[in-house]
Structure 1
Amino acid sequence: MKSHLTNDIKYFDYNATHPPYTEILKSCLEEYLQNYYNPSGITRYSLQNQGKIEQTRKYLAKITHGIEKQFVFSSTGTEANHLLIQSLRVKYPNLRSVIVSPFEHSSMYSALEMFGFQAEIIQPNPSGTINLNHLEFLLKQEPRPVICLYAGNETGVIQPAEEIQTLTKQHGQLFYSDLMQAFCKIEVPFSLFDGYSFSGHKIGAGMGAAVTYLPESNPHFRLFGGGNQENEHRAGTENTFAISTLQKVTEIQLEGLHNKINRLQNFQSKLESELESYGCEIIAKNERRLPNTSFFILPIHTVDFFLLGLEEKGIIVSTGSSCKSRAREASKSLLYMGYAEEQALRAIRISTGSFTTLEDIEILITQIKELIQKFQ
């Protein structure tokens, strides 16, 4: 399926938002324009729309081997993470703290704070994985639920989920994970996680639909009241258009997953080899990482001018998490990994995806080389 991106834009910020699958969004929108009925209504037209939502819920249960009623649709990844943490508060009303990785999206830490949890941070390894020995120490010291994303949105490092799951089960604890960057990018071992979240805009399904998988279908849990939608977990009229799009794009992404992984790994190897020859440092180079993500430190200090230079050429990259990139703050992930703030402020993230071509990569390499030479 072709990208709608013009030749004027070379897009390398897929970890922030994947460009939409235009044909799918158009077909789902056309369907919505003809069948716009409120899925919570009592007519057969409304019931048909509710049936489409339940079909997507059933599909997600099938591909993840989960339980249908434990999937809740919401609007954004941030909301999905808040919903996940609220479910933890409902399950453990007196729980004081949880064990958390230092690499979470800011929305996860915000959700923990909002629902009254103290976050005890797991010490990381310099390579970007959590320190399993420290996790084991924390669990022995005080058994508590563990929250650790599966793949870092900045570094792309994939965490040792199987080992984490083994430790949590030894201590009878839940293991929650943010799968925003992993879903439809790599094979995800869903069965290892008791609860998780992911979002349609990270895979090309557009904005408006995110997913939370709850550890149990608790009738006393609701994000907010006012209606009985989403098995009474989240009141509000469901976004049938976005939910349908989420399923159709997921089907396409999973069907071509292995080919995409191989193609993006080749791009990653080519890009990083060139970057190193220009004096860039590839972060977590020897760790298992997402095939689409390269996080590196520039050998120059004029990062803002570097970014402007790329943008003038129609090239879009990032300095890290999309929720923080405008602020130009030092990456907290890198600071936890032992990098100095000055180094972290020189970090650039390149993330590719379904519509990235070899020509795009070659143009990017050429422009990076020219700008580094210009500012050195």
Structure 2
Amino acid sequence: MDQVILEADWAAREDLAGLVMVLGAENLRWVGGAVRDSLLGAEVHDIDAATTLHPEAVMAALKEAGIKVIPTGIDHGTVTAVLPGGNVEITTLRKDVATDGRRATVTFAEDWAEDAARRDFTINALYAHPLSLEISDYFEGLSDLDARQVRFIGDAHERIAEDHLRILRYYRFQARFGAMLDGEAEEACADMAATLKGLSRERVAGELLALLALPEPLATVERMFARGVLPVVLPEVTSAGMAQLAALIAFETLQSAKPAPLRRLAAMLPAEPKLAEQVAARLRLSTAQKKALSRMAKRGGEDADPRALAYREGPAMARDLLLLAGRDAEALDDWDVPVFPLKGGQIVARGVGAGPEVARILQAVEARWIAENFPPEDRVSALLDEELRQRA
């Protein structure tokens, strides 16, 4: 293949040039997602570098140059340079010594190809020289990138045996980048699906939510379900849940709604709040995520007024509930939830003794205010007058 030169605006950053000057151009290569995404013309978020220098040497050089450095994963050779334009993870070349599917014992290497051989997919093993920006491709990753094929480096079963999470990573990358399916990868993921049970729930949840956050994950998730991979990590999902996910994604497209992974997860699960809580607990989701997933499992957007729903539940949850119900959420666009313009003290000032009666009146006026689509304050005063007359 002809020499390929990386074209990327980020590669011209002054702070990156300073980093290269400190560590030495021959000791450093840009690698991974930034290189891959730049070649695809996609937005780059994070920049990673590989280096022949050991982490202690990297830290010493950066500190001497006045660049803040954090030993984020120094035991595995990774440190983070804190730069004005965005942090850069710098990892010493490595090779695996032993793996058990969950973690690896590594030793430092000196050869770029050896480092590439321990990575997961060919499209993630592309290295760019920091000055010439020439791409080094050791496993035909450029060809796979052109074909939009996600292919394991070497034997797929061996790569998965090294790190079982690569099963879920394969599907996420396939949903994001893939057009052509790789038969060996598909078979290996199905064959070794049961190994996912040994992974930490946090790692599984991270990959699942990242997959569901993609614009078009449906075909991939359907294949995971059909091949027996999804049931290992989400046994609660049935064919009906897959149909609900398909309906939701189709409706999101019609509504131009942004993907929301928790909403999509809720669509896949039965509409049972306690079950949703169990799933959230098993996946070690945050308290806020657990609460949201449980609330979506109750549904409730089938016949509610969109703005009344947003007032009670908050705009984000209301939108989720409406979309799950297949209802138009346009009424919430550019609409700010109003503040109820009546306080208990105003009712007391009208001669009602402080206590439960004030709360009952306040709730009654608020309910009518919502039903009338949040009229202005003078109407609220009139509603209060009516409520007080009825209680006279």
Q: Which has the larger radius of gyration?
A: 2
- TM-score, structure 2 length as denominator? 0.24
Q: TM-score, normalised by structure 1?
A: 0.25
